[in-house]
Every structure is written in C-alpha cells, then in structure tokens.
Amino acid sequence: MIRLDQNGLDDEHQEFLNFLAKIKNDKKDIDNIVNKFIDYVTFHFQHEEQYMIKINYPADYFEAHTKEHLMIKTFVAQYMNKDVDNAKIDLLRGMFIYHIENYDKMIENWME
C-alpha cells in the first residue's frame, strides 16, 4: 500500500483494511464488526475531508475526491451487512486501494 504520511491518514487507511480482514475472517461477530466498520468509514472520510480543507486543497480536486468518498460510502451502506460475501469484501478492498493510490496520493502535492 502507498504510504502518504499524511496527518495520521496512513494509520486510518490500514485500520480500514484491518476491518475488511476482520469482516472476512470473523463471521461469529459479524454484526458488531460491520457496525463499527460503517462508523469508521464515516469517521475516516470526514477526517480526510477536514484535512483537505485545512491544507487548501483545490476545490475541483476536493469535489472529485468527495464524490469518491460518497461512492465508497454508498457501497458500504448497500453491501456491508451480516450477509456480505468475500467477493464484495474483495471488491471494496480494491476500490479503497484504488482510491488511496489515485485520489489520496494527490493530496501530497498540497501537504503542509
């Protein structure tokens, strides 16, 4: 995974991926894990968006970036539940890594 070293965001990205591994591997407590994951997704994206505002991230990039967040949050809301299968988890993992490599990576150009 790309390391961005941005205001703690790398640790949050790793935690996002850790949650997906837990969901994939721990079916006995799936409801609790999924609920915590959904809250975590919201927390992480809010933190990232606040950071972009703090560093004066350009408005057009910010808009595209937040649309990506909305797409991922929508996917999570629709498909991450007690019946989630490994294919959906793998798809979300791929979406998230793509997001880091292609959207979050751009933040480095404006980092403090």
Q: Which two tokens stand for residue 78?
A: 């629709």
Q: What is the pLDDT of residues 72-98, one digit of tens each?
A: 999 999 988 878 899 999 999 999 999
Residue 2 falls inside a structural domain = no
Residue 100 falls inside a structural domain = yes
Quick check: 44 and 12 in contact, CB under 8 A? yes
Q: Which residue range(s) make up the domain with 63?
A: 9-110
> What pLDDT does residue 1 have?
47
> What pLDDT does residue 81 have?
82
Residue 4 falls inside a structural domain = no
d(CA 93, CA 91): 5
| Residues of the chain falling short of pLDDT 50 | 1
Residue 19 falls inside a structural domain = yes
> What pLDDT does residue 83 have?
81
Quick check: 23 and 31 in contact, CB under 8 A? no
> What pLDDT does residue 4 have?
55
> What pLDDT does residue 65 have?
97
Residue 3 falls inside a structural domain = no
- 7 by DSSP, 3-state: which? coil
> What pLDDT does residue 28 have?
83
- Name the domain count of the chain: 1
Tell me the CATH number at 72.
1.20.120.50
Residue 68 falls inside a structural domain = yes
